[in-house]
Chains A and B, each alone.
Chain A
Amino acid sequence: MTATSPTDALSYYGRPIIKEPVWQPDIPLYLFTGGLAGASDLLALGAQFSGNRRLRTSALAAATFGTTISPYFLIKDLGRPLRFLNMLRVVKVTSPMSVGTWIFSAESATTGIAAGCQLFGVMPRVRATAHVLAGLIGPAQATYTAALIAQSVVPAWHEARRELPVLFASSAAASAGGAAAILTPVEHAAPARRLGIIGGVAELAASKLMEKRLGKLVGSVYHEEEAGTYSRLATASTLAGTALMAFAGRRRVGAVAAGALLLTGSLCERFAVYHAGKQSARDPRHTSIPQKERGGRAVTQPSSRTGNGSSPSASTR
């Protein structure tokens, strides 16, 4: 080793080109609890329409938990938590975090109102309206976080921009189903079980599809280090949870176990994605190689004094 930069020169001393996200594990927790909340609100709405009160209560409980704790994690992760409210200065379509702030604020408000009404047994019409609103916001709540992650330069995230929303949505569904299955007596929990299975299967499929579409270079992060560990854990947990829910979900013990596994799987999947991003950001090749292959106009050599010039030929090395 010398003071010379590697002459295969795909990097500057092997240093990352982009920055590793500064987000702490608070963020995957924020993603997970947010997704849980959104899908749970939707589940609660469905329960409302189908007259399944017990399910509605459980789903609402899960949603309330989610919408309370999710912002907590987000605010905790801020460098200046007291300035959280500055997020409400703007509405920027280019910023999923800006849009998302409004989404989860609305979701928190409506869920809270519904929960409050439920808890104190008052204002049933207000409660119903709140349910509907919360439920309508639910899908957005469960998917904007994927947009947030994808709207970045982190290769493992940005290159999975088409797959991440489906992954997050299905993960949310699996966790909502799982949570409701734990909290609801089995005779009322069928939709929860079904949602858990649908979500679980979709989550497994989406994560595999995502990894495949990322390609060998970038996709490799899901087999390495923490992302690899969490990914394996997520797959195992979700698979086990889905299977258990399908075959043993009608029994209380089975439902609880399956629900816990689905929740664990969903949580681990978020952590896998989180770590995948960090690992991908750390590796300069993930940024430089795909960009070089794509080509473009960042590098130009003026062919004449006034012309825009052309791109220089490939490396002369």
Chain B
Amino acid sequence: MSHVWGQTPDVSVGAAGMKLADGVETYGPEAQPRLGFFTDTSVCIGCKACEVACKEWNLVPEDGLTWTGQSYDNTGELNANTWRHVAFIEQQAPDPLKHGKQDFRWLMESDVCKHCTHAGCLDVCPTGAIFRTEFGTVVIQDDVCNGCGYCVTACPFGVIGKRELGGDGGMHKCTLCYDRLQDGMEPACAKACPTDSIQFGPLDELIERARERCGDLVEAGVSEARLYLADENDGIGGAGAFFLLLDEPEVYGLPPEPVAPTKHLGTIWGAAAVAAGALAIGVAAAFVGGAE
């Protein structure tokens, strides 16, 4: 669903939070409740079933057999050939849920595309390949994408990658299993996750649940428990895939205060206009004084 004129509409931010209020204009009667992920890293056991299920369902290629020595994370990062990535962080830090003086903990987190409310990748895509689905998710149409790579520079989370090296040259990322959603099924990773660290469903329900869970943890003494990207007032308008983290975002390799670059679109075009004007003046000035 691309538009010839004007800005591709974002998900509208309703009064009740981040859910779509009466659907996105473009979808009208076809609009669905906004769906997304709540990833509760406090119950992630680092099994990587999510990584494997995703690759099997979406036929994502193997991403390189490289041992990193970075704890148990040999996947490294999200990119065109990794749409779920489990991070492992070994820390000399107190774990409040542990009895006794145990100053060690092992954080695990399944990272994924955030399906931002204000999605930088979608905004800058020059072919309209990246679009917003009726579920509020952000999907790349493989048959339109020409691999220009602009989206890569506009993602505050470093999610999108290019499938090179014998691949199709296009950009790829998590589709939130769009095909499965259309058949009323949950995404492959959510289905495979044995501990329900990856929870899938209507976004407003997930946020409710997440707030309760975070509150429970804080009450139980886990003062570092926090929600990440659950607030519509953050730089991306909140995410369709948000997280419960047990430490600062940058510990997990996540940006602490991500902002969609489109936020400064006005400034950018404005500066360009000023510069264009200055160029015109400069050229005109060059003609003052004759041809010699």
Q: Which residues of A contact B (CB under 8 A)?
A: 2-5, 7, 9-13, 15-19, 21-23, 38-39, 42-43, 46, 49-50, 52, 55, 74, 77-81, 83-84, 86-87, 89-98, 100-101, 138-140, 142-144, 146-148, 150-154, 157-158, 161-166, 168-170, 172-173, 177, 187-192, 194-195, 198-199, 202, 277, 281, 284, 287-288, 291-292, 294-302, 304-306, 308-309, 312, 315-317
Q: Is the CB of B257 within 8 A of A292?
A: yes
**Interchain CB contact under 8 A, A164 and B157:** no
- Tell me whether B280 and A42 are in contact (CB under 8 A): yes
Task: Given A165-B274, A298-B231, A302-B214, decide whether A89 and B162 contact each other with a Cβ distance below 8 A.
Answer: no
User: Is the pair B272, A144 in contact by a Cβ cutoff of 8 Å?
Assistant: yes
What is the CB-to-nearest-CB distance from B260 to chain A, in angstroms, rounded to a whole number? 8
- Of listed B91, B159, B283, B287, residue having the most chain A CB within 10 A: B283
Partner pick for A146 among B162, B223, B256, B275, CB 8 A cutoff: B275
Partner of B255, one of A83, A138, A163, A288: A288
* Complex Cα gap A46–B211 (Å): 63
Given contacts A94-B123, A296-B234, A139 and B280 within 8 Å (CB-CB): yes
Contact status of A19 and B79, CB under 8 A, knowing A161-B271, A300-B227: yes
Contacts of A153 in B (CB 8 A): 120, 153-156, 258-259, 261
Does B148 belong to the interface (CB within 8 Å)? yes
Point out the residue from B144, B146, B169, B276 that lies within 8 Å of A143, measured CB to CB. Answer: B276
- With the chains together, A246 CA to B282 CA distance in Å? 16
Separation of A177 and B286 alpha carbons in the complex (Å) = 9
B205 within 8 Å of A (CB atoms)? no
Contact: A86 with B275, CB < 8 Å?
no
Asked whether B149 lies within 8 Å of A301 as measured between CB atoms, the reply is: no
Main secondary structure on B side of the interface with A: loop
A87 touches B272 (CB 8 A): no
8 A Cβ contacts from B229-277 to A: 229-231, 233-236, 245, 247-259, 261-262, 264-265, 267-269, 271-277
B257 and A298 within 8 A (CB): yes
B residues adjacent to A (C-beta < 8 A): 2-8, 68-71, 76-77, 79, 87, 89-93, 120, 123-129, 144-150, 152-164, 168-171, 211-212, 214-215, 218, 223-231, 233-236, 245, 247-259, 261-262, 264-265, 267-269, 271-280, 282-292
Q: Contact: A195 with B268, CB < 8 Å?
A: no
For A180, give the chain B residue with the smallest CB separation.
B286
11 contacts between A and B (CB under 8 A): A2-B90, A13-B70, A17-B250, A42-B279, A50-B291, A139-B276, A151-B154, A281-B153, A299-B248, A300-B226, A312-B226
Instruction: Note all chain B residues with C-beta closer than 8 A to A305.
Output: 211-212, 215
Q: Cα distance A217–B149 when bound, in Å?
A: 26
Chain B residues with Cβ below 8 Å from A11 are: 250, 253
Is the pair B90, A304 in contact by a Cβ cutoff of 8 Å? no
**Min CB–CB distance B212 → chain A (angstroms):** 6
**A46 and B125 alpha carbons, distance in the complex (Å):** 35
A4 to B106, CA, bound (A): 9
Complex Cα distance A219/B5, Å?
37
**Are B284 and A46 neighbours in the complex by a CB distance under 8 Å?**
yes
B231-A308 in contact (CB<8A): yes
Say how far B279's CB is from chain A's closest CB, in angstroms. Answer: 4
Q: Which of A22, A97, A281 has the most CB of B within 10 A?
A: A22
Neighbour of A43 across the interface among B146, B257, B286, CB < 8 A = B286
Contact B168 A79 (CB under 8 A): yes
CA distance A300 to B229 in the complex (A): 8
Besides the contacts A86-B144, A147-B272, A170-B278, what 12 more A-B pairs have beta carbons closer than 8 Å? A5-B251, A9-B251, A10-B250, A12-B250, A12-B251, A80-B147, A80-B168, A86-B127, A92-B7, A151-B268, A187-B291, A297-B233
